[in-house]
Structure 1
Amino acid sequence: MSDAPDPDSKTEEPTEKKIHDALEKGNVPQSREMALFFSIGCITIIIYLFLYNSAAVLKDFLSFFIDSPGSISIADGRDAASLLQLVAISVGTFLLPIVCILMVGGILASVLQNAPRIASDRIEPKWSRISLMSGFKRIFGMHGQVEFAKSMAKLLIITIICTILLNSERNEVVNAIYSDPTRIPEIMLNMAMRLVSAICVATVVLVAGDLVWSRFKWRKDLRMTRQEIKDEMRQSDGDPMVKARMRSLAQDRSRKRMMAGVPTASLVVTNPTHFAIALRYLPEEGGAPMVVAKGKDLIALAIREIAQKHDIPLIEDKALARSMYDHVDVDKSIPPEFYKAVAQLFYHLYQKKGVSPAISPAPKSP
């Protein structure tokens, strides 16, 4: 039984990672009609710029063999090689520009659609490429139907253009029978130029439609199921359940370490029940008061219980407790904006104990 997901279940757009992986494997949107359009365009350029003059030069060169064969002396193999070399150079001079233009057009047709990249996966042997069932699906599936429709559209366009053009040139073709035979190649070339130009213009709409379709089909094939997106996120970011468990364990360890420091506090500022800030200050240690623990709700209640168990004073100051909870960090000194308020708390605390306070009401910022 196949593990491949049902195409109908692929309702989600592909992620950036899925698109990147597809591009790296050589799976890119490719319009075949673009390559055809560039080929026809290159043929048009060849006909207009090179074929007429180059063909005339080649015709004059080759006519020499027909008009004056007796003037050609071939005494040995060296003469034959020289003659063949001369013919090859002349024919090559005629064909080289044509081949170069077609080659450049083919490269541009691919480069303008997608950036060139090396994809070894495209040349690896795969059973699906020679499988009869896969081939049957490609031919009679949606992709095959679209390709068949495009082929029929191209055939219809070319048939209509050829019919219109030949009908318009009917008189000239008939008159060419009674004219100088040497004008027939020129007539045929002119007709070919008009025919290829018309086909090139007519296929622009087909190429534009095929470009849109190829990209739409490509993204549709890359669509993912919701489960595939979840699996991809789990692979890239880690299992959310494991990460949540790790965060929970880290928070528990941090909370236990913080609670272990509450007995060393000098006083606890409360809200009275929703917030609790445990502060430590010993004159001999110097510096500003240190935050040894803070918490809200259940953690605040736990801090209060530990403080009561160790006879640590609880001082109720709703505004100060709430403000300090939002702005102080555990195991760090209080910010300068709380110096005055906290110094007053310690001042009154030491007065109640009948001990001369060792800190000033407002410690100076270093």
Structure 2
Amino acid sequence: MKEVKINLQFFAEEKTEKATPKKRQDSRKKGQVAKSTDVNTAFILLFVFIFLWLFGGGMVGQALYDFLRHNFQTYLLMDVTARNLEIMFWDIIVQVAVVLLPIMLMAMVAGVFASFIQVGVMFTTEPLKFNLKKIDPIKGAKRIFSARALVELAKSLLKITFVGVVVFVLIWFNLEDVMLISQKSVEIGFAQIATLTAQMGMLVALLLLLLSVPDYIYQRYDNEKQMRMSKKDIKDEHKNMEGDPRIKSKRKQKQMEMAMQRMMQEVPKADVVITNPTHYAVALQYDDQKSDAPVVIAKGVDFVAQKIKSIATEHDVILVENKPLARALYGQTEIGDQVPESLFKAIAEVLAYVYRLKNKQVGK
């Protein structure tokens, strides 16, 4: 028996169930989403090299040319002093920023776009929080020698191989032009190197983008696997969502009190209240324009029955004592229901008595 209990507990805690919407939402808040860094890398390279291909010669190339000319024509003629070094340092930083800023902005736009198409709009600081578990050497060793690490190693070797082949093939087909660069002017040589570099970059980016598709699929699979829940986890989640039993009880009690209050507000509208006389009370209303039979608008036992009779008396609603009918109405109907057909005859007699009584009171 003990072994059976252990096996049942094991199966209950085995993570075989898909993640619930709440688990997915909580994981997203923590930054635990399916995301491939290869997609980001590929888009950044592609956007940057397309930008260099389109605007590199006119914008970046000219800025780089002006930067080098200014350095050779100005800084080489300056005396080496502390003041001059400070001036050169800040001047070089500004000029480098002018050259690199458009490229960095394009890389940032590409990175944001790549992240957006993978995970949508998401901002969280949870991954930035300090966590001692992240520097646990035992867990670190497990990550290094895990199946995930082997997959990452295989991916890296595959990417290096393909990138190397692409670069080799491109240089091989342009080998003659590369060999003749030393015999050409600086401007022409620089332009050929820049063109060849841009072509390499775009081809490598397209290749990485192609390789990132299966990697993204794997990341989604791995993320789904990590988010799996056991049946016990799902039960615990439902309990937490429902809240503490005491709070749930109070909420239910409050709802019952509100329903009771609404029911008591309907009692003055009743045509008659049929009683037991002490334990049961059922209030009926009949409007031939709205329904074919009388409708139960309030009912109760014991304290609630006494409350219904008290309100009815205050508002001059007629009370009729009929023990079998009161019990039958209470047991066979709910609030808002029409009286059952089997009780039509008894109800008709009661209503006839009520209407005769009302007519006598009006006659007086």
Q: Once the 2 structures are TM-superposed, how far is the Cα of residue 195 of structure 1 from its aligned partner? A: 0.7
Are the equivalent residues in 2 in contact too, given 1:279–1:289 (CA < 8 A)?
no
Distance 2:164 2:73 in 1: 40
5 Å matches for 1:174-323? 174-180=179-185, 182-238=187-243, 262-264=276-278, 314=324
Distance 2:111 2:348 in 1: 84
Deviations 1:255-310 (A, max 9, x none): xxxxxx63349xxxxxxxxxxx97689xxxxxx89888799xxxxxxxxxxxxxxx
Report the TM-score, using the length of structure 1 for normalisation: 0.64
Report the TM-score, using the length of structure 2 for normalisation: 0.64
Distance 1:289 1:159 in 2: 85
Task: Give the structure with the higher percent helix.
Answer: 2
Are the equivalent residues in 1 in contact too, given 2:52–2:198 (CA < 8 A)?
yes
SS at match of 1:100: helix
Computed over aligned residues only, the root mean square deviation of the Cα atoms, in angstroms, reads: 4.7
Q: Once the 2 structures are TM-superposed, how far is the Cα of residue 33 of structure 1 from its aligned partner? A: 0.7
Which of these residues, 312, 324, 332, is aligned with residue 325 of structure 1?
332
SS at match of 1:209: helix
Amino acid of the structure 1 residue aligned with 2:349: L
CA distance 1:147–1:69, shift in 2 (3 Å):
closer
Which 10-residue stretch deviates more, 164-173 or 90-99? 90-99
Amino acid of the structure 1 residue aligned with 2:30: K
Are the equivalent residues in 2 in contact too, given 1:19–1:222 (CA < 8 A)?
yes
Q: How much identity, in percent, do the aligned residues show?
A: 22
Q: Say if 2:138 is the partner of 1:124.
A: no
Q: Say if 2:6 is the partner of 1:10.
A: no
CA distance 1:343–1:122, shift in 2 (3 Å):
closer
Which of these residues, 29, 37, 41, is aligned with residue 32 of structure 1?
37
CA distance 1:322–1:46, shift in 2 (3 Å):
same
Are the equivalent residues in 2 in contact too, given 1:346–1:357 (CA < 8 A)?
no
Q: Once the 2 structures are TM-superposed, how far is the Cα of residue 142 of structure 1 from its aligned partner? A: 2.4
Distance 2:20 2:324 in 1: 55
- Larger relative contact order (CA 8 Å, sep ≥ 6): 2
5 Å matches for 1:67-106? 72=77, 74=79, 82=87, 85-106=90-111
Distance 2:22 2:88 in 1: 61
CA distance 1:202–1:279, shift in 2 (3 Å):
closer
Provide the residue aligned with 1:62 in structure 2: 68
Distance 2:189 2:281 in 1: 106
Deviations 1:322-345 (A, max 9, x none): 999346569xxx77x999744543
How many residue pairs match? The answer is 299
Q: Give the greater-gyration-radius structure (CA).
A: 1
CA distance 1:112–1:339, shift in 2 (3 Å):
same
Which of these residues, 141, 148, 154, is aligned with residue 149 of structure 1?
154
Distance 1:7 1:19 in 2: 20
Distance 1:280 1:129 in 2: 68
Distance 1:312 1:87 in 2: 103
